[in-house]
Structure 1
């Protein structure tokens, strides 16, 4: 059975390697392809104008080998906690290529950002006031302000973006008052903007529409400040597909469109920043869990696995399943799913070992002859998986992580 061009971005590794991994490692486990991660970064970098920097969103997967891979490629990093700042520094990243965000930054978070020399993205006047008290340098501390747009943004899924009421940032309609109040804190200087207006977006045109809205806000901010902005952070939102039927994000169209955005705004002489996380990390990882048993309950087929929402929480949170296929150790990938023949497949609910009816890790069409000992492989599991899950719930052991160079 041969992996087709239509499915290779759903699962890391080829079919033979998936069978080798499933045979060699105790279930459940995650496996990541570091070479694929480096190539993903280089592919996106080639597609973008030189004035667009890339900051890997550490929240999507903070694994040290992955951070080291991106640091070696010259990536910036988007951090959301003191722990993420420390991880990036341990991986060889530097504060000069780091932004620190979050709607409720602790004193520890701010201290870590200052220690590293990172740029803080302030979410309100409270951040400005605390940084003004903490900063001891001879020059004002440059920061960016996150703005919650009043309108002009759209997204397919509201996770941390959007234009409605938000815990994040300064509402656009309050921006003038914020700038006036921030001016009283002379040890802090606003020199940048951040707008995050999408999550897992697959339409380059929709992303570009949101980015143009961000540039309108940036121009207004620059006029209010009376000085040039050096950085406009357009946030993340670069999406990956979770089903064969979904389109892939056209990163070349995104890059060409960002070039036009820069041309349309000659007043802006600084740099743009993108914060991709999922797009870079998701296709590099798989999650593998062995089948314990199968059953039919009132007409619904269940497959119970050795791992559940204690390892993969995203399907419960979003209602969207990871792509799946089945491997029989010593045999190989079983027919169907994303790989080839669609016969002899049955709709299947995948459940874990936890004593709660919430323990559902998705649905999919899996082979009718699936049996105990087979391994279900979840694709796109390099992002929002291992560290997002309920690892300690019911005290099951944490899954292994296998890093393949």
Structure 2
């Protein structure tokens, strides 16, 4: 599903709330969660990645369905804290945790994903009882296929390099309270191939087995990270959920030594399809053979196309198919403000465009403060 709302709904939302705006469908978000949950083995826990979209309505909907939550800042911890969840349903990751953030996480009963010895030592100093943490490892294997978001097997700001784990464990053995009881590896991003995800997750479990056998680590949790992808164009096939679930079952069968739970941190997969961004054309400009459609919003609201080169799907509301080439530009005073090159009906000022699959990495990732444009409203529907 590329668009959570049809043309009639998009027009109604634009007329009622003005443009630009974001709208999210609770029904679509819930359907995504249930569809994924239904194919997973019982030992797999879903921890929604709050960074994808921290909208309170979305968090509450997922919480009501039994989701756990993956946070990466004190602000995200605060949003999850407002849900009044029992301890153990929240994880805290990030390469630059400050002491105040660690204190907040510990007070909430959050499972911390330690990035290195510094995290372990500071946690040890903050607690007076045995405290289990997960260790994030940057693996030596490279399954990223050049993905610039997660990087490959080269240098990384995330986690402890796999080859440095033995030295870290020797130092960690001297700590009084902290105990490594889980492994965290994030090795995929927007991957829609179930077979490739099985390969990635298999490599993580193989790493866990090596750490278990060579260093005696006992894991209660193995966090496989996120990376479950969604289509952004009609020709892109969605993730085969049945094959994905079967792949995890196969891996658990292959790794009978492991008795704990697996954690998945989907963000985009759960939230992406539920959102649309609505914006009108302000003006059309012809420049040296290029037709620009200049919109009310650009990378101040949707920066992901600039970061990844992968545009969100877009349609001209109420105008059907079209073959006119347009470069979609935003209102910012920079030539970087581009939302993609598309073929649509010949646009004019006032036309309404809908960008689909913007429920993840939409407004919360945009350059909202640049030029001080008003922040568009976010509407929760259903």
Deviation at 1:100, TM superposition (A): 0.4
Mark the runs of 5 or more structure 1 residues left unpaired by the alignment: 1-8, 328-332, 337-343
C-alpha contact 2:10 2:278 (8 A) present in aligned 1: no
Q: Aligned to 1:202, what secondary structure does the other structure show?
A: coil
Partner in structure 2 of residue 364 of structure 1: 342
Deviation at 1:164, TM superposition (A): 2.0
- The separation in 1 between residues aligned to 2:308 and 2:285, in whole angstroms, is 25
Deviation at 1:160, TM superposition (A): 2.4
Provide, for residues 179-211 of structure 1, a one-character-per-residue CA deviation record: whole Å limited to 9, x for no partner: 111111121000000010011111111111011
Query: Which residue of 333, 350, 363 corresponds with 1:373?
Result: 350
C-alpha contact 2:272 2:359 (8 A) present in aligned 1: yes
Partner in structure 2 of residue 5 of structure 1: none
Query: Which residue of 100, 107, 113 corresponds with 2:99?
Result: 107
- The separation in 2 between residues aligned to 1:79 and 1:241, in whole angstroms, is 25
Alignment pair present for 1:346 and 2:331: no
C-alpha contact 1:161 1:198 (8 A) present in aligned 2: no
- The separation in 2 between residues aligned to 1:155 and 1:24, in whole angstroms, is 44
Alignment pair present for 1:302 and 2:302: no
The range that moved more, 292-301 or 87-96, is: 87-96
The range that moved more, 221-230 or 289-298, is: 221-230
Mark the runs of 5 or more structure 2 residues left unpaired by the alignment: none
Q: Aligned to 1:402, what secondary structure does the other structure show?
A: strand
**Structure 1 segment 133-148 matched on structure 2, within 5 A:** 133-136=125-128, 138=129, 140-148=130-138
Query: Which residue of 177, 180, 185 corresponds with 1:187?
Result: 177
- The separation in 2 between residues aligned to 1:384 and 1:206, in whole angstroms, is 23
The range that moved more, 12-21 or 291-300, is: 12-21
Partner in structure 1 of residue 361 of structure 2: 384
Alignment pair present for 1:264 and 2:249: no
Structure 1 runs (4+) greater than 6 angstroms displaced:
none
Partner in structure 1 of residue 6 of structure 2: 14
Distance 1:277 1:311, change over 3 A: same
Q: Aligned to 1:95, what secondary structure does the other structure show?
A: coil
- The separation in 2 between residues aligned to 1:292 and 1:389, in whole angstroms, is 20
Distance 1:95 1:86, change over 3 A: farther
Deviation at 1:111, TM superposition (A): 1.1
Provide, for residues 355-390 of structure 1, a one-character-per-residue CA deviation record: whole Å limited to 9, x for no partner: 11111122211111x221111111111111111111
Q: Aligned to 2:88, what secondary structure does the other structure show?
A: helix
Partner in structure 2 of residue 116 of structure 1: 108
- The separation in 2 between residues aligned to 1:154 and 1:317, in whole angstroms, is 17
Query: Which residue of 218, 224, 239 corresponds with 1:228?
Result: 218
Q: Aligned to 1:185, what secondary structure does the other structure show?
A: coil
Q: Aligned to 1:32, what secondary structure does the other structure show?
A: strand
Alignment pair present for 1:96 and 2:88: yes
C-alpha contact 1:302 1:351 (8 A) present in aligned 2: yes
- The separation in 2 between residues aligned to 1:56 and 1:229, in whole angstroms, is 21
**Structure 1 segment 318-329 matched on structure 2, within 5 A:** 318-327=308-317
The TM-score, its normalising length taken from structure 2, stands at 0.97
Alignment pair present for 1:75 and 2:67: yes
- The separation in 1 between residues aligned to 2:92 and 2:355, in whole angstroms, is 31
Q: Aligned to 2:259, what secondary structure does the other structure show?
A: coil
Q: CA RMSD in A?
A: 1.3
- The separation in 1 between residues aligned to 2:18 and 2:188, in whole angstroms, is 37
Q: Aligned to 2:365, what secondary structure does the other structure show?
A: coil
- The separation in 2 between residues aligned to 1:102 and 1:170, in whole angstroms, is 12
Partner in structure 1 of residue 319 of structure 2: 334
C-alpha contact 1:162 1:196 (8 A) present in aligned 2: no
Alignment pair present for 1:398 and 2:375: yes
- The separation in 1 between residues aligned to 2:291 and 2:39, in whole angstroms, is 44
Q: Aligned to 2:364, what secondary structure does the other structure show?
A: coil
- The separation in 2 between residues aligned to 1:311 and 1:171, in whole angstroms, is 35
Distance 1:309 1:72, change over 3 A: same
Deviation at 1:152, TM superposition (A): 4.9
Q: Aligned to 2:213, what secondary structure does the other structure show?
A: helix
Q: Aligned to 1:309, what secondary structure does the other structure show?
A: coil
Partner in structure 2 of residue 242 of structure 1: 232
Alignment pair present for 1:169 and 2:154: no
